[in-house]
Amino acid sequence: MALNCAKQKTYWLRCLKTFLPNGYTSMDSNRMMIACFIISALDILSALDASMTTDERSSYIEWIYASQQDTGGFQGFPRTPDANPEPNDSHSDARLTIIWEPATVPSTFFALAALLLLRDDFSRVGRRECLTWLTKCQRADCSFGQNLNDKGEVDGGYDTRFGYLAMHIRWMLGGDLLATQEPAWPDVNIDGLVRSIRALQAYDGGFGDLPCSEPHGGYTNCAVNALAIVDKLADGIPDEDALIHWLVLRQTRQFEPDNEDDEDEDEEQGGFATATTSSAIGFNGRCNKIADTCYTWWICDTLKTLGQIELIDKSKATSYLLNKTQHFIGGFGKYPSDPPDIYHSYLGLAALGILGCPDVKPVHSTTSISVDAVDYLEKVIRPGYS
């Protein structure tokens, strides 16, 4: 089966132009991420320009800028007067929450990426404020958190997602160029971040969220791509051979827990199945887990960054996405037969861009957006920084 481009476009246009299913209300504070995935998916499908009028493009850009904060960074959704209900007994707490929503590292990354995809020129981005705020999101141990709370303390997890996103914000805003200028702009502690990431490689090669914790495909991808964007791959991976070995072992033909047909044909090695004769193989994110669409992205993309994508069978990995988890209404499910969701649909498409599927644009390995969009950043926006 090929990528059903017409259905894929229909799925993403439905996400862009109509209300999302009510299940997404729990992600209300992450609307910037959802918006970026929708815009980027249409871009990867070469359908972005035809998906919106000039006025709509402008309104999307205004929507993003409406969530920028004066003190730097973007919050997860714009502050609008309509979002603030009148205070009363039952809503007073909700009103306080809505009025003060901190800028977050993820929302700032997704806002900047979406602006790039919409070919904004970043002229209204508060670069000095954002880069200054970013330095405050780095902890004393040099890991990054999600946001600053109202006391100015860093909130959020210690895992590699935030370091990855922070390093890409720095790169998109030219912080790496500005740090070398006189007088130098505020900059984060790169060597410290590299040290903090080095400490996360587990005994079997992958990276976990904390030292000595179980390695995970998503954290490993973020660790490797954070190092790559600051040109510190060689310094930040204590054992690259073990890492590549762990990544390659994530390929599995086990799609569902009770899939007896697959198990019959599997070659059991050390307790988990490896691909043999099947025309489709997926990837898991941890040992002894079944394949899941998003890990085709997390694992294949990490190998691409490391220059080792040819170690896996790209044809069978592509077949897993197209024949097992692509949904007939468009998008991709987490597992075969699952309905599509925005997260897995986006990472499924991005993975196809990494695997060389001819129906989608090539995707840039560390950012997950199209190579086209990254070219625009590097050839049009970043030259203006230096």
Q: Which residues bind Zn ion (CB under 5 A)?
A: 292, 294, 334
Q: Is 384 exposed, middle or buried (0-12, 13-18, 19+ CB in 10 A)?
A: exposed
Q: How far is the CB of 293 from Zn ion (least distance, A)?
A: 6
Q: How far is the CB of 295 from Zn ion (least distance, A)?
A: 6
276 near 262, Cβ under 8 Å? no
Residues found in the chain? 386
Q: Considering only CA atoms, which of 30, 1, 3 is closest in space to residue 352? A: 3
Strand partners, 252: 282
- Distance in angstroms (rounded) separating the CA atoms of residues 270 and 186: 49
The β-bridge relationship of strands 282-283 and 154-155 is: unpaired
CB nearer to Zn ion: pick between 58 and 337:
337
φ and ψ at 316, to 5 degrees? -75, -35
Query: Which residue has the CB atom at the shortest distance from Zn ion?
Result: 294
**Maximal CA-CA distance, the chain:** 66
Q: Is 49 exposed, middle or buried (0-12, 13-18, 19+ CB in 10 A)?
A: exposed
Q: How far is the CB of 294 from Zn ion (least distance, A)?
A: 3
Q: Considering only CA atoms, which of 37, 119, 34 is closest in space to residue 375? A: 119
Q: How far is the CB of 297 from Zn ion (least distance, A)?
A: 9
- Distance in angstroms (rounded) separating the CA atoms of residues 49 and 373: 13
- Distance in angstroms (rounded) separating the CA atoms of residues 102 and 108: 11
Six-digit token pair at 135?
């330095």
CB nearer to Zn ion: pick between 12 and 295:
295
CB nearer to Zn ion: pick between 175 and 218:
218
Q: How far is the CB of 58 from Zn ion (least distance, A)?
A: 34
Q: How far is the CB of 159 from Zn ion (least distance, A)?
A: 16
Q: How far is the CB of 292 from Zn ion (least distance, A)?
A: 4
CB nearer to Zn ion: pick between 73 and 333:
333
CB nearer to Zn ion: pick between 295 and 376:
295
CB nearer to Zn ion: pick between 136 and 344:
344
- Distance in angstroms (rounded) separating the CA atoms of residues 108 and 66: 12
CB nearer to Zn ion: pick between 109 and 332:
332
Q: How far is the CB of 24 from Zn ion (least distance, A)?
A: 16
CB nearer to Zn ion: pick between 232 and 327:
327
- Distance in angstroms (rounded) separating the CA atoms of residues 245 and 354: 20
41 near 346, Cβ under 8 Å? yes
CB nearer to Zn ion: pick between 266 and 292:
292
Q: How far is the CB of 285 from Zn ion (least distance, A)?
A: 7
Q: How far is the CB of 289 from Zn ion (least distance, A)?
A: 10
H/E element, 148? strand 147-148
Six-digit token pair at 127?
């670069």
Six-digit token pair at 12?
């993403």
Q: Considering only CA atoms, which of 201, 193, 198 is closest in space to residue 166? A: 193
Helix (H, G, I), strand (E, B) or coil at 96: helix
Q: Considering only CA atoms, which of 97, 110, 99, 100 is closest in space to residue 30? A: 110
CB nearer to Zn ion: pick between 205 and 217:
217
